[in-house]
Amino acid sequence: MLLIINILGTVYGYYWYRGQLSITPIQFIPFVPDSPTASLFFVFVLIAFLFRSNWPLFEALAIVTLFKYGVWAVVMNILTKMVSGYLPWEGYMLIISHGAMAIEGLLFAPFYRIKLRHIALAAIWTLHNDIIDYVYMQFPQYQDLFIYVREIGYFTFWLSILSLLIAYYLCIRKNRLELSL
């Protein structure tokens, strides 16, 4: 069931980005749809689990990006409500779905078999994505928050660092909780 929910969420997420993707320069397309790509990483993790296997690079990408973009979207939608005084129903749906997204990647951490090299590759992907978003201005469009783009970029960078540290703590450190599939 979780796999189906994540597949549907991933498809909807790419659909949600359709307008922005239609005007995105081709070299940035892999980096623009942040949340659906995070959930796509988790779809691969769940498929591996069904086969009683681990795909540690996807596990690292999933735990880091699910937490990061889950928290990011919750914060941006709350800020939109605070700044504009209004949030459409989709905003509330995004708060709930992205809150769940942030949590689900963490819940499966005891089953991940991530090594430091996988976290390093996830760090490169994630921090590179921040550069694409805030140096090349390809970040997700929240019109009411555009005037705060520098502050949001700074927050996003530190959220990336926090996400990487959490992944390290849950998946790499000695004495971590480790469970078998």
Instruction: Spell out the per-residue pLDDT of the chain, length 181, in tens.
Output: 999 999 999 999 999 999 999 999 999 999 999 999 999 999 999 999 999 999 999 999 999 999 999 999 999 999 999 999 999 999 999 999 999 999 999 999 999 999 999 999 999 999 999 999 999 999 988 889 999 999 999 999 999 999 999 999 999 999 998 888 8
8-state DSSP, 27: G
The answer to whether position 177 is within a domain reads no
Tally of CB atoms within 10 A around 82: 11
- Residues 152-155: contacts with CB under 8 Å, at least 24 apart: 152/76, 155/75
* Enclosing domain of residue 167: 2-171
Residues near 105 by beta carbon (within 8 Å), at least 6 away in sequence: 38, 42, 62, 63, 64, 65, 66, 67, 70
The answer to whether position 178 is within a domain reads no
Q: Taking the model in full, what pTM does it have?
A: 0.95
How many CA atoms lie less than 13 Å away from 116 in the CB half-sphere? Answer: 2
The answer to whether position 114 is within a domain reads yes
- Count of domains forming the chain: 1
The answer to whether position 45 is within a domain reads yes
The answer to whether position 76 is within a domain reads yes
| pLDDT for 140 | 86
The answer to whether position 179 is within a domain reads no
The answer to whether position 12 is within a domain reads yes
